[in-house]
């Protein structure tokens, strides 16, 4: 399949979670307007994304939920899954590890890194914490391809550079420090302040 637009991939992930919830409720088929209502988007957008997936439903019954979930899995996931490293074991880093380990998905945390002696060689939700000096060695040894950065902002550029040099192909930056792109590395930045200010805008009193 050709590369999909970034926003489409985001929605496919959201579709899968919502569709799995519908399966858990015993539902087997669903129409585009129902999916749209679940995600607060338009039916037109849903149908466009599904067309990009190369899937079609029936006018009478709608889309087969199980088939859609399986197809989204083939598009997003890899057969063997992908390994992740978390760099920075503050409260956020620990929360991310716990959350992803509980999900039991194709994405698994293989290692964590920190410089705090009290955290090194400890285990968090079945994940070993190593000293950051071992980052390149461990990443190569475990064939880790994704890095999640939750460190203090001032060390983020150096961490990103080391991750790229170690063979990391995707970085999720959870810090407020913007990163410049690393060649051959897909970068996603989560800006909590922007998201919070967006929420604040929509809830502030109007004249």
pLDDT tens across 108-136, in order? 999 999 999 999 999 999 999 999 999 99
pTM, full prediction: 0.83
Position 56 confidence tier, pLDDT thresholds 50, 70, 90: confident
Residue 82 belongs to what H/E stretch? strand 82-87
Position 61 confidence tier, pLDDT thresholds 50, 70, 90: confident
Position 59 confidence tier, pLDDT thresholds 50, 70, 90: low
Which has the higher per-residue pLDDT, 25 or 103?
25
Is the pLDDT at 191 greater than 90? The verdict is no
Bridge partners for 148 per DSSP: 86, 172
- Rounded CA-CA distance 130/117 in Å is 10
Q: Domains of the chain by range and CATH?
A: 6-74 (1.10.10.10), 82-193 (3.40.50.720)
Position 194 confidence tier, pLDDT thresholds 50, 70, 90: confident
- Rounded CA-CA distance 160/145 in Å is 13
Position 178 confidence tier, pLDDT thresholds 50, 70, 90: confident
Position 207 confidence tier, pLDDT thresholds 50, 70, 90: low
At 20-40, the pLDDT tens digits run: 999 999 999 999 999 999 999
- Rounded CA-CA distance 26/133 in Å is 49
């Amino acid at each position: 399949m050709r590369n999909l637009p970034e926003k489409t991939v985001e929605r496919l992930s959201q579709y899968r979670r919502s569709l799995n919830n519908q399966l858990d409720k015993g539902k087997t088929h669903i129409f585009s307007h129902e999916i749209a209502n679940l995600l607060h988007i338009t039916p037109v957008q849903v149908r466009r994304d599904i067309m990009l997936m190369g899937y079609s439903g029936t006018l009478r019954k709608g889309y087969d939920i199980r088939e859609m979930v399986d197809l989204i899995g083939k598009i997003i996931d890899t057969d063997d899954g992908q390994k992740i490293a978390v760099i920075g074991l503050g409260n956020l880093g620990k929360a991310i590890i716990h959350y992803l380990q509980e999900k039991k998905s194709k994405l698994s945390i293989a290692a964590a890194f920190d410089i705090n002696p009290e955290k090194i060689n400890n285990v968090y939700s079945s994940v070993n914490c190593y000293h950051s000096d071992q980052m390149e060695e461990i990443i190569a040894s475990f064939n880790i391809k994704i890095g999640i950065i939750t460190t203090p902002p001032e060390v983020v550029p150096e961490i990103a550079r080391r991750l790229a040099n170690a063979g990391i192909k995707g970085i999720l930056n959870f810090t407020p420090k913007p990163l410049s792109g690393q060649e051959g590395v897909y970068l996603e930045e989560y800006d909590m302040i922007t998201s919070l200010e967006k929420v604040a805008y929509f809830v502030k009193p109007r004249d």
